[in-house]
Structures are given as C-alpha cells and as structure tokens.
Amino acid sequence: MAKILFVMTGADRWTLVKGSKFHTGYWAHEFTEPYRAFTEAGHEVVVATPGGVVPPVDRGSLAPYANGGDEQAAKVAEIIAGATPLEQPLALAEVRLADYDAVFYPGGHGPMEDLAVNADSAALLVEALRSGKPLALVCHGPAALLATAADGPSPFAGYRLTAFSDAEERHSGLADQARWLLEDRLVELGADYHSGEPFEPFLQADRNLHTGQNPASAGPLAAAVLAAL
C-alpha cells in the first residue's frame, strides 16, 4: 500500500484585478476522482494545506452542470462528505516527503491565490522532483510551481507539462478579470508548456512529473500515478 499526499489550497477567495474577490477553493472533481482511484486501489491518502486549514471546496464545482447531471453531482458530494482526510489536514510546513510515495496537487482557482506563493509548497515540490517519486498536478494545481522561482530559476524550467490553458480561462469568463494567467506564467517560468483541446482530457509526463490540463484530466492523471507507483 502506498501513502499519497494531496497538497490542497486553503484559500476560498481568488483576488482579481482592482482587488475584487472571486469565491473559489479546490475543484471537487479534481479531488474526488483521484481520491476514489487511489483509495479503491488500496492506497492511503493524506491531505495537507497551508496552515493546516480545512480545504474549502468551490461551491460551483458541486453543481450538477459541473458534474454531468444530478446523479454524478450527488456522488461527488458523497465522496467529499466521507473523505476523512479532508477534515484532518496536516499543516504543509510540517510535512516530511519521506513519509509518502507520491504527491498530488488538485486544482481549482484556490492555488492561484495561496500555493502560487507558498514557500513550504515550493520546497516540497523541489524535493519531490529530485526524489524521483511520482509528482502530479492538475488544472490550476501547477500554479504552485510558480513559487519554486522565488529565489532564482525554477528547477521545473525545461520540463514538459500542461495546466489550465488561457483559452479555457477565457471560456470560463475570468481571463479578463485575472491579474495573470497560468499558461503565460508557466511559459515565463521556462516550462515547456503544451495543451490539448479545451476541457478535453490531456496529460503530459516528463520524468517523474505528471500533469493534467483540466478537470476532465483528473481521472486519467490519477491512473498515470497508479501506473507510476
């Protein structure tokens, strides 16, 4: 049995231009699909957040329209309600990578607010990359990579990866309100960014780094992590 660390946002607001706040958190499907896949395979999931706060879910991600209908939305809500690790997160600063076999970052706009500038997350990402353990980030989760360049070039520069695209952000209606767009910043970081069709599953893998573009990529990304384990 493997022990898999989920690093999740603690932010329930995303600061937009002119200081306005967009209600957000983690995107439900990006937690529930990997969580279900890992636990059904017999693995243990542990959640960590900045400060050890309970990760807030983006309420929009629980709606039927975001889950393909009422039945699927109910299943997502049921998984979240039964996921004990969400209720007992560790403080990210206290996490020891040696205790885990893989690291997974769900998305949602929350990471754009906190993990993108979090030094504890950055240190963990760099250590995980160098360890060779599977490291996976999906959708806006790769925003956390930006913090790895706070004191110089990022070790993720040159890595082939994907994340929520500018085209998808425009389609969501938030691109014009955002202070910055994730695809643009990852390119500035030096990453070898690639994307597929908007809102269709799309993965990239480079050495032990595994990334998924959007919510539809969360399940396939979890499968890639299981294969790597």
Length of the chain: 229
Phi, psi dihedral angles at 137 (to 5 degrees): -140, 140
DSSP for residue 88: S
Phi, psi dihedral angles at 7 (to 5 degrees): -95, 120
pLDDT-based confidence at residue 18 (cuts at 50, 70, 90): confident
Please tell me whether residue 187 adopts helix, strand or coil conformation: helix
Ranges of H-type helices in 5-63: 28-40
pLDDT tens digits for 173-220? 999 999 999 999 999 999 999 999 999 999 999 999 999 999 999 999
* CB atoms near residue 181 (< 10 Å): 19
pLDDT tens digits for 102-127? 999 999 999 999 999 999 999 999 99
Check: pTM over 0.85? Answer yes or no.
yes
CA gap 105, 144 in Å, rounded: 9
Distances (CA, A) of 168 to 139, 181, 182: 10, 10, 11
What is the sign of the dihedral through the CA atoms of 154, 136, 183 and 161?
positive
pLDDT tens digits for 19-47? 999 999 999 999 999 999 999 999 999 99
Taken in order of first residue, the domains within the chain and their CATH numbers are 3-228 (3.40.50.880)
CA gap 69, 77 in Å, rounded: 12
